[in-house]
Amino acid sequence: MSGPSQTHPRGGAERVLRIISGAWRGRRLRFPPSPAIRPTPDRVRETLFNWLAGAVVGARCLDLFAGSGALGLEALSRGARHVTFVEHEPSAARAIEACLAQWDPERRCSWRVVAADAQAFLGAAGQRFDIVFLDPPFTAGTLGPVTARLEDGGWLAPGAGIYVECPAADVPPVPAAWARARSKRAGQVGYHLYLRHTGNAAE
């Protein structure tokens, strides 16, 4: 959920998000005042998790451009088995980890926060995820390379769901094995849910 925002500074109230549903419903998280963080709005998150429905419960999730961490935190709140948060900005990664330490001090949930560039993270050996959240910086040109690395690097379980945010006018560059299941627009942002199909039943 990291990406370019408008250049005006954010006020304190604008840097607070709330968890919509699940065990942490109503909890609020504050994210650092960075212009690189463009959080997914509440109504878009609500639509996304309605699309995913029961698929979140027990799922292994990857929040690859985590930003505020709201998508991964929402997934944990709704019963995800594990979430890995990857965020290149150290202050944002620390804020996610601090939030999780406060909300889950006994580590009842399984989570990991990695302060790293998304492409560098995907350069390691793949671990299979059931759901991946992709909200990269719109101007960085990283979406195509990242989707290719996810598909080719062993990061996706068969039938995985991949959420993608991008400029509304763009067609997301995704692998042929990804079929778009749902799609909507919020202002200048398009958001899409893809399902990974594979012809290899044994995969």
68-107 confidence digits (pLDDT tens)? 899 999 999 999 999 999 999 999 999 999 999 999 999 9
pLDDT number for residue 202: 42
- CATH number attached to the domain at 13-196: 3.40.50.150
d(CA 174, CA 64): 15
Identify the CA nearest to 14 among candidates 43, 37, 44, 45. Answer: 37
Identify the CA nearest to 99 among candidates 37, 16, 41. Answer: 16
d(CA 47, CA 6): 23
Does position 184 have pLDDT exceeding 90, yes or no?
Answer: yes
Average pLDDT on 168-186 reads 92
Give phi and psi for 109, each to the nearest 5: -100, 155
Q: Domain-by-domain residue ranges, the chain?
A: 13-196
Is the Cα dihedral 56, 60, 65, 71 positive or negative?
Answer: positive
pLDDT number for residue 199: 61
Give phi and psi for 166, each to the nearest 5: -160, 170
Lowest-confidence pick of 27-36, 82-91, 120-129, 131-140: 27-36
Q: What is the pLDDT of residues 45-75, one digit of tens each?
A: 999 999 999 999 999 999 999 998 999 999 9
